[in-house]
Chains A and B, each alone.
Chain A
Amino acid sequence: MKIVALSGSKVGSKTRTAIDYTIKTVGEQYPKVEVELVDLADYDVVFSDGRDYREYQGDTKLVAEKIMEADAIVMGTPIFQASIPATLKNIFDLLPEKAFREKVVSMIVTAGSPKHYLIVEQQLKPILSYMKAQIVPIYVFIEEKDFYRKEIVNDDIIFRIQRLVEDTVVLTETYGKIRKAKEEVYGF
């Protein structure tokens, strides 16, 4: 199983910190699972111009291909201007319409204010549904006060990340089994 842990912003450190905790947790709970960090701050990704994702060059192609090859994606996003950041939206625009078919996607959200709690529900989940993701319904919402100098200082958040990792892995395995059983019935 291949998981991509995506940090969806070029700004700030909270999302990246939360994603780092997630990667560490995967390593501890599921040492056999392959998990790779993709921090959009580390890549120079161009804006989508409508071409097939494999026809881009450099970082854009690299990032798109990493996501397309994953079985599951833990998506970390901050909330900017009451929405997801443009860097993350651009990733969706670069990928094909049904890019997340047969992939599990779970979400970790960092925000400066609890007022942003439903942004993911109302803005990110519809995009993921449209792109045919198997969404892990419960996401981890982390506020400013849960961080101190690039560490998560709220144990509740750490427990939530552990549960998110478990849900992501278990659902990926389960959907894989369901798909396999279903496809065997077709006989072709």
Chain B
Amino acid sequence: MEKYRIDKSKGLEFGIYTLGDHIQNPATGKRISAQQRVQEIIEFAKLAEQAGIDFFSVGESHQEYFATQAHAVVLSAIAQATEKIKIGSSATIISTADPVRVFEDFATIDLISNGRAEIIAGRASRVGLFELLGYDLRDYEELYEEKFELLVKINEEEVVNWSGKYRAPLKNAKIIPRPIEGSIPIWRGVGGPPASAIKAGIQGVPMYLAMLGGPASAFKNSVDAYREALKRSGHNPKDFPVATAGFFYAAETTQQAQREIYPHIDLGLKLVNGRGYPKQQFAQGTDTRDIMNIGSPQQIIEKILYQHEMFGHQRYIAQMDFGGVPFDKLMKNIEFIGNEILPAVKKYTAKSKGESV
């Protein structure tokens, strides 16, 4: 766990992630400028740090309705604007990038931030960027596996010898600058079904599990499959952290939270994925067993603890800005997290040294 900068004695880590979506506020129909959106994301990270939140990450999506295509650039601005919060990508689409350049970028962010940078490498759920960046969608699987493995190799070895199908070979290539501790945490981004979780286990890398909706128990399968695959591949699951990520929104009451956030999530999904969120399924989200952390602070605390008991994960990462949520609402959410949610979650999940999950 130390390798991935996780200190279990401090309890479950709490993070925030943004996809960097750039969508109108459904209440007003107005969209802020890309300039304002990017600057608000940087401000968002600063406020998260002030509230004691452990992690903040920004994703890349190369299509309409997004503003952080150059997510590494945004993260470097966040690195400069903050002092102690860990920062990362959520996710870096490694399939359509050069792992050498990605490593150089994030090693540099690590130097700027004094050792706070991490990468979550994903495969892209929206695939428009393959055409944009000149890749063949038929290579979706292999592009990801090959480039992800190269990224992990560069992270482990300063001088790299490598050859593969989708990039020129590396011969005694010195990949610099090196991060402060020589390497940075690199997570494999994983979607719902266990197949990808198993690959993370085989590769012996930490897993970042994205969860959109549905019962927590459905995602437990992926967590179990991951740890099982780690064991089978000769790794100790106790050495590898699991992070989960999903929708989050807090308000005074659960009903108010639902009323405020539903139009954003519904519109955001409609624009980005082509289909909205059915109200019937969203309504079930208030059940403690459902994965969506939307509700009153007390309800969210219960849900996070329920999930922690089930997954035994080390970090939870909340998405609360999707679909043009206005900044004052984000500030209010950070207040709920800092004042109520974080202290309770930490209190109940902190472990004394030596105690296992």
Query: Hey, which bits of chain A sit against chain B, CB under 8 A?
Result: 49-55, 68, 96, 98-99, 101, 182-183, 186-188
Whether A182 touches B280, Cβ cut-off 8 Å, given contacts A50-B137, A187-B259, A188-B258, is: yes
Are A186 and B127 neighbours in the complex by a CB distance under 8 Å? no
User: Do B255 and A188 touch (CB < 8 A)?
Assistant: yes
Q: Given the known A-B contacts A183-B279, A187-B259, A188-B258, are A51 and B273 also in contact in the complex, defined by CB atoms under 8 Å?
A: no
**Interfacial chain A residues near B274, Cβ < 8 Å:** 52-54, 68, 96
- Pairwise interchain contact A55-B262, C-beta atoms closer than 8 A: no
B13 → chain A closest CB, angstroms: 30
Answer whether A52 and B127 are a contact pair too, CB < 8 Å, given A101-B275, A186-B279.
Answer: yes
Residues on B with C-beta less than 8 A from A54 are 274
CB-defined contacts of B283 to chain A, threshold 8 Å: 186, 188
Known contacts A101-B278, A187-B255, A188-B259, A52 near B137 by CB under 8 Å: no
A residues less than 8 Å from B273 (CB atoms) = 52, 96
B side interface size, CB within 8 A? 18
The distance in angstroms between the C-alpha atoms of A50 and B127, with both chains bound, is 9
**Chain B window 119-130, contacts with chain A (Cβ cutoff 8 Å), 1 for yes, 0 for no:** 000000011100
In the complex, chain B residues whose CB is within 8 Å of the CB of A101: 275, 278
Name A132's closest neighbour in chain B (CB-CB): B278
CA distance A164 to B259 in the complex (A): 39
Q: How far is the CA of A96 from the CA of B275 in the complex (A)?
A: 8
Closest Cβ–Cβ distance, residue B127 to chain A (whole Å): 5
**Closest 7 pairs (CB-CB, A-B):** A188-B258, A188-B259, A188-B262, A183-B279, A186-B283, A55-B128, A51-B127
Chain A residues, CB < 8 A from B275? 96, 98-99, 101
A-B contacts counted at CB < 8 A amount to 42
In the complex, what residue of chain B is closest to A183 when comparing beta carbons? Answer: B279
Alpha-carbon distance A182/B262, docked complex (angstroms): 16
Interface residue B135 (Cβ < 8 Å from any Cβ of A): no
What are 6 A-to-B residue pairs whose CB atoms are below 8 Å? A52-B126, A52-B274, A68-B274, A96-B273, A101-B278, A188-B279
Contact A51 B279 (CB under 8 A): no
A50 to B140, CA, bound (A): 11
Residues of B within 8 A of A96 (CB): 273-275
- Least Cβ distance of B100 to chain A in Å? 28
Q: Which residues of A contact B4 (CB under 8 A)?
A: none
Interface of B is mostly: helix
A141 and B52 alpha carbons, distance in the complex (Å): 66
A51 to B63, CA, bound (A): 13
Q: How far is the CA of A81 from the CA of B81 in the complex (A)?
A: 66
13 more CB-based (< 8 A) A-B contacts, given A51-B137, A53-B274, A55-B127? A49-B137, A50-B137, A51-B127, A55-B128, A55-B131, A96-B275, A99-B275, A101-B275, A182-B280, A186-B258, A187-B255, A187-B258, A188-B259
Give the CA-CA distance A186 to B259 in the complex, in Å: 9
Complex: chain A residue closest to B280, CB-CB: A182
A50–B131 Cα distance when bound, in Å, is 13
B282 within 8 Å of A by Cβ? yes
Residues on B with beta carbons closer than 8 Å to the beta carbon of A98:
275
Q: Which of A50, A51, A68, A188 contacts B128 (CB 8 A)?
A: A51
Minimum CB–CB distance for B125 against chain A, Å? 9
CB distance from A179 to the nearest CB of B (A): 8
Q: Shortest beta-carbon distance, B131 to chain A, in Å?
A: 8
Nearest CB in chain B to that of A99: its residue: B275
Interchain CA distance A52-B129 in the complex, whole Å = 12
Taken together as a complex, chains A and B put the C-alpha atoms of A107 and B127 apart, in Å, by 33
Question: Chain A nearest CB: distance from B138 CB in Å?
Answer: 8
A165 to chain B, nearest CB (A): 27
Complex contacts, B280 vs chain A, CB 8 Å? 182
Instruction: Point out the residues of chain A lying under 8 angstroms from B262, CB to CB.
Output: 188
Contacts of B279 in A (CB 8 A): 182-183, 186, 188
Query: Smallest CB-CB separation from A187: which chain B residue?
Result: B255
| CA–CA, A175 and B138, complex, Å | 40
Q: Could you tell me the distance between the alpha carbons of A53 and B273 in the complex, rounded to whole angstroms?
A: 10
Chain B contacts of A50 at CB under 8 A?
127, 137
Tell me the nearest residue of chain A to B140, going by C-beta.
A50
CB of A46, distance to nearest CB on chain B (Å): 13
A54, closest chain B residue (CB): B274
Q: A68 vs B276: C-alpha distance in the bound complex, in angstroms?
A: 12
Q: Across the two chains, which residue of chain A brings its CB closest to B257?
A: A188
Least distance between B144 CB and chain A CB atoms (Å): 14
A68–B270 alpha-carbon span in the complex (Å): 12
**A52–B258 touching, CB < 8 Å:** no
Closest CB in chain A relative to B3 CB, distance in Å: 36
